[in-house]
Amino acid sequence: MQNFTFLEPIDLLIATVLVVAAGTISVLLRLGLERSLAIAATRCVLQLGMVGLVLEKIFGIDHPLPVLAWLAVMIALAGKEAVKRARWNYRGITLDAVITMTFSAMIVGAIVTQAVIRVRPWYNPQYVIPLLGMILGNSLNGISLCLDRFTDHITSRTSEIELLLAFGATRSEAMAEPLQTAVKTGMIPIINNMSVAGIVSLPGMMTGQILAGAPPIQAVGYQIVVMFMIAAANALGSMSIASLASRRLMEPYGRLRLDRLNKSKGPRIGKGAMAGRKSHTDR
């Protein structure tokens, strides 16, 4: 089996040419993404560099407190990022996202690290931090999609929900369809990824294991665990955020509170792209 290949600074510099090529295409086609691409690439380098330095310190300390502290930071940032990506927000949405992230990541992460992989000690950062990071990163996308679908449903079909309430439906009955469609939407990315894994693409965990020198069969086993882990986290996260949002946006006695919704500014993705997005969403 081939040994692990270490990258030198010159190798990373050469890889920068690929990002420059993407920016050049944006300039040639007048996409307006070059500034956003440059900022994103700079943030990527700085953030990953900082994380690498922090993880080296954490890996050298044989104690659970640094690991738990870093996981808390990851959960807080993931919750904040999920809210930023949503097109609508309401008071308390960040807290709901953090609660959801904590609930889904801790339950699924505990099952995978302690029952499946059997990490010893239980806080071993080599396993716990990367696995929890994958859970948070993927459930973040599912939660954002779920929030968008849920809020779009209740704003576009308000009359139907209010009609159900007028006929005596409870809050859970009136919100059943919006919740179901939102959770389905949140699950779409991972279902699509599982459907094409190994045929159309080699997923990240499997690729990383193979590049690190692991036998392909072992790499496949780890990737299956990761896929199932992400599916469970997305399902729990989507269900939780939709349930919490429904409680925020409807009173217990059945009054819909759309006045609590505010249009989010959303992430900046380039002038041209933002203009296209605005014309689509504001129809």
Place of tokens 């576009």: 156
d(CA 179, CA 31) in angstroms, rounded, equals 36
Taking only the tens of pLDDT, the chain with its 283 residues reads 456 677 888 988 899 999 999 999 999 998 899 999 999 999 999 989 998 999 999 988 889 999 999 999 999 999 888 888 778 888 899 999 999 999 999 999 999 999 999 999 999 998 999 999 999 988 888 899 999 999 999 988 899 988 988 888 888 888 999 999 999 999 998 898 888 887 776 777 788 888 777 888 888 898 899 999 999 999 999 999 999 999 998 888 878 888 888 887 655 433 433 344 343 334 3
What is the separation, in whole angstroms, between the first and last Cα of the chain?
Answer: 57
Q: How many CA atoms lie within 13 A of 72 on its CB side?
A: 6
For the whole prediction, is pTM greater than 0.85? no
Q: Do residues 165 and 254 make contact, with C-beta atoms less than 8 angstroms apart?
A: yes
Which residues have a Cβ under 8 Å from the Cβ of 84 and sit 6 or more positions away? Answer: 264, 266, 267
